[in-house]
A and B are shown apart, each in its own frame.
Chain A
Amino acid sequence: MIRVDNISKSFEGKNVLSSISVEFSESKTNLIIGRSGSGKTVLLKCLIGMHEPDEGDIWYDENRFTALDPDQQRTFRQQMGVVFQGGALFDSMNVEQNVRLPMDFFTDWSRGEKRDRVNFCLEKVNLPDVNKLYPAELSGGMKKRVAIARAIALNPRYLFCDEPNSGLDPQTAIVIDKLIREITVDFGITTVINTHDMNSVMEIGDHILFLSEGSKCWEGSSAEILTSGNNILNEFVFASELMKRFK
């Protein structure tokens, strides 16, 4: 479980997050949604310690993350897996080396054990037999899947995904969404996904936090989102022609 207590963040006097409190539960896909510039990425970066909140606290189960110094935070992050928007795979390493890197750093496993774990993670994301390919040889969807495999390499307790299906076609986007959902349930991890894709919201949104202009505007489930009386949320949800017709 991740608990966010009243966090605020500003850059050069401009308020980007204002007193946000929320709880993200275990084995659930928690989504942060909102328009571009609403503060989704800043909130996610605060959660993983890439930004330091000006006020408030972030708790990972019983650990007060915001009270840790940068080195302690870095050590704590070994329990996190992060999937970046573009995948952030290391260009100079092949797929196997990319997935193996956290194991090289933080385990004393033998070469064989590492290889088995790499293959397990790649099979989990439906990418067998790509071990020797380099990121430049992969499609957008494959890159995302390798990034997910790398993120789960060390059995993280917390998984963060920054717009995991941006730039993907709708079918591949659904495959990625379902994959994240499956991993979340199978491994019993707390997953936080930053997205503005309404397909993802309807497909995997167990718990949804809607941000508007840096503030928490609405919180609920994917079933509740369609019947909400919140005007700002409705403008966002029913922005597309398809959703208007659906409504």
Chain B
Amino acid sequence: MPICLPQVARRAQARALLIACALLQIAAADETRYAAERKALGAEIQRAAAQTAYATGRARFSARVMKAMDAVPRHRFVPTGSVANAYENRPLAIGHGQTISQPYIVALMTELLEPKSGDVMLEVGTGSGYQAAVLSRLVTRVQTIEIIAPLADSATARLRELGYDNVQVKSGDGYYGWPDHAPYDGIIVTAAANSIPPPLIAQLKPGGRMVIPVGAPFHTQDLILLRKDPDGKVTTTSVLPVAFVPLTGSR
């Protein structure tokens, strides 16, 4: 019997379709699993938030912030080797001596910035772009500057691919901020410098807030919250992310 070519082709096609479906199913299963892990992580963050209420002044993080945390696929912001750990509540290395922060700290910093829908925010230290992505779900626009060129490039590509089109990445020196889009409702300086650049404070709107995590890589111990009141007067506060009191018997 002569081989019926169209039939073979059809069979191959069907097989290819099956494989594609299977792959899609795997991918979909992955996505479902990641979504579930993200939910669990969200719950863990809220538990930690409740414990640190005394220090942060918030019994729980706002629904808006938590929704934004839930909307951003952290596994797309970590190196391939760390995807399995993407939804663990811990910082991860992203290459170039940089890290992606612990999710709880990201949520806390976002919360401290009090983002509102019409806001324009500046980030100094893009890193993987994760923090910018979370902020972008909450404000109108995020301008972000990265001092390490390859990181700026990869973050730009990643954010574009994932459709975060209200985030703009620039590679360069963060010291002078990004005057073209100033003033900002909020600024986050994740590239913990040993002094806080005066030009950044100048680019903060009256009533605006700035957050600066302090500590070694993997060891964020303290967040500095800088507030500019409507008259332009600046006050700063140390916010402890950990519900820890150093004196026994006091709270």
A binds B: no
Give chain A's interface residues, CB within 8 Å of chain B: none
